[in-house]
């Protein structure tokens, strides 16, 4: 069944993988099995379903679909991206060392530093775009490499195949947070990663209406341990939210193509705008990792960052002046969003470090939605001129 699905194209698998019609009624939409327990014929004589933390048919459908789309054999879904990240950390034990991208999602940095450090895990943050920096950070206790590519909000790219080779030679677990690219534009497992991870809250859900996370792997040992820990520790996703994400997945390809087409147009427009100092988008030839992104991704995604020719007040005014781009955190939904990383998503990073990294006060991040590109460009143009 899964092998058969693997030969079909992405858009077909998004709609059919794990989603056969329900056998009793023929319902074409996977039913929401909103139940905590399952009646047994006699003690121990169950149908394969005992309790919904352990097994739930709606969740299984979503997990099978995700496994197919990421090219893995196991998908496991969690109550949030952070719950997925936290459960992956339980693959390690006290004393183990993790090398991590220095530009990771703020919540990832926070849980590593304030929660898992207390249990004896060690973290070193390096620019993973530079393989030599990764190698230089390695020690005898290193057990895992954690990479985000593209990163948030500077959209730096790591050579995933090269990093995977390094991990293989050192027997490190290689985890890629694939949230920004989505499985449609990037397949970390095919490039050699052991684990691909998502905040499904972003592109997979795609409608800014649910919080969830997932892990996909083709490594049986890792899958078994994560599955065991999910049930033991309990960070599972409810049936209704599983259904919401299944619905989101059906249009993932369609949406990503539109996100990218719009983002490309917005990036080109901003690059020639007199009020803009510099645009960061992996699809632009001016991006420092454009060639690498072109090689390892099938598209450049929907996030565009840019530096304004102006100060923090001008940046604040631009974020307030757009009418279609709503000023909000998060990303990946059909609606376009604008945000100021220094004041909003990345405010917890000390200012001095922010400046060093390039997260200056004139930086603005866009999550380009799937509205009409011309309207989006007009909106930005008006806001830039008025600010
Ligand atoms: C949002 C996000 C997360 C955290 O996911 P939640 O669903 O908010 O818990 C992790 N990684 C990246 C790259 C994200 O953008």
Condensed to tens digits (0 to 9), the pLDDT of residues 223-273 reads: 999 999 999 999 999 999 999 999 999 999 999 999 999 999 999 999 999
Nearest-atom number in ligand 1 for the CA of 213 is 7
Whether residue 123 is preceded by a cis peptide bond, meaning omega within 30 degrees of 0, is: no
Strand order in the sheet with 97-101: 74-78, 213-217, 195-199, 173-177, 142-148, 97-101, 122-126
- CB 199 near ligand 1, within 6 Å: yes
What sign results for the dihedral spanned by CA atoms 261, 263, 109, 111? negative
Q: Which residues are catalytic?
A: 53, 105, 177, 202
Among 79, 82, 149, residue to substitute to test ligand 1 (most atoms within 8 Å of Cβ): 82
> Which tens digit of pLDDT belongs to each residue from 8-60?
999 999 999 999 999 999 999 999 999 999 999 999 999 999 999 999 999 99
For residues 387 and 275, the model is more confident at 275
Kindly indicate the confidence band of residue 90, based on its pLDDT and cuts at 50, 70 and 90: very high
- CB 201 near ligand 1, within 6 Å: yes
- CB 202 near ligand 1, within 6 Å: yes
CA 19 – CA 7 distance, rounded (Å): 16
- CB 107 near ligand 1, within 6 Å: yes
User: Which domains are delineated in the chain?
Assistant: 10-249 (3.40.640.10), 253-386 (3.90.1150.10)
CA 312 – CA 322 distance, rounded (Å): 16
Q: Does pLDDT of 216 surpass 50?
A: yes
Q: What is the pLDDT of residue 348?
A: 79
139 Cα–ligand 1 center, Å: 28
24 Cα–ligand 1 center, Å: 37
Helix (H, G, I), strand (E, B) or coil at 352: helix
- CB 213 near ligand 1, within 6 Å: yes
Among all chains, which residue has been given the structure tokens 């789309």?
69
Nearest-atom number in ligand 1 for the CA of 332 is 15
CA 56 – CA 64 distance, rounded (Å): 12
Q: Does pLDDT of 2 surpass 60?
A: no
Q: Does pLDDT of 124 surpass 60?
A: yes
User: Averaged over 104-115, what is the pLDDT?
Assistant: 93
């Amino acid at each position: 069944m899964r092998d058969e699905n693997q030969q079909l194209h992405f858009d077909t698998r998004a709609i059919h993988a794990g989603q056969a019609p329900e056998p009793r009624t023929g319902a074409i939409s996977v039913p929401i099995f909103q139940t905590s327990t399952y009646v047994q014929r006699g003690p121990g004589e169950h149908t394969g379903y005992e309790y919904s933390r352990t097994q739930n048919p709606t969740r299984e459908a979503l997990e099978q679909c995700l496994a197919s789309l990421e090219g893995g054999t196991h998908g496991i879904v969690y109550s949030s991206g952070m719950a997925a990240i936290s459960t992956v950390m339980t693959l390690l034990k006290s004393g183990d060392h993790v090398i991590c991208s220095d530009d990771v999602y703020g919540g990832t940095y926070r849980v590593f530093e304030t929660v898992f450090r207390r249990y004896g895990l060690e973290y070193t943050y390096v620019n993973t775009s530079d393989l030599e920096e990764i190698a230089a950070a390695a020690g005898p206790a290193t057990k895992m490499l954690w990479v985000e590519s593209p990163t948030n909000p500077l959209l730096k790219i790591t050579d995933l195949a090269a990093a995977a080779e390094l991990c293989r030679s050192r027997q490190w677990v290689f985890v890629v947070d694939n949230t920004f690219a989505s499985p449609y534009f990037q397949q970390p497992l095919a490039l050699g990663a052991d684990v691909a991870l998502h905040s499904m809250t972003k592109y997979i859900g795609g409608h800014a209406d649910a919080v969830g996370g997932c892990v996909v792997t083709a490594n049986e040992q890792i899958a078994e341990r994560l599955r065991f820990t999910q049930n033991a520790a309990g960070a599972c996703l409810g049936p209704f939210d599983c259904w919401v994400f299944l619905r989101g997945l059906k249009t993932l390809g369609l949406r990503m193509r539109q996100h990218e087409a719009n983002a490309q147009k917005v990036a080109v427009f901003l690059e020639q705008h007199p009020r803009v100092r510099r645009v960061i988008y992996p699809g632009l030839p001016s991006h420092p990792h454009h060639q690498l992104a072109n090689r390892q991704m099938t598209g450049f995604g929907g996030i565009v960052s840019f530096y304004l020719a102006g100060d923090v007040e001008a940046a604040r005014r631009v974020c307030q002046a757009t009418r279609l781009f709503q000023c909000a955190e998060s990303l990946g939904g059909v609606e376009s969003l604008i945000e100021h990383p220094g004041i909003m998503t990345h405010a917890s990073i000390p200012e001095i470090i922010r400046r060093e990294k390039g997260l200056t006060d004139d930086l603005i991040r866009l999550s380009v939605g799937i509205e009409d590109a011309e309207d989006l460009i007009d909106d930005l143009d008006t806001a830039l001129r008025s600010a």
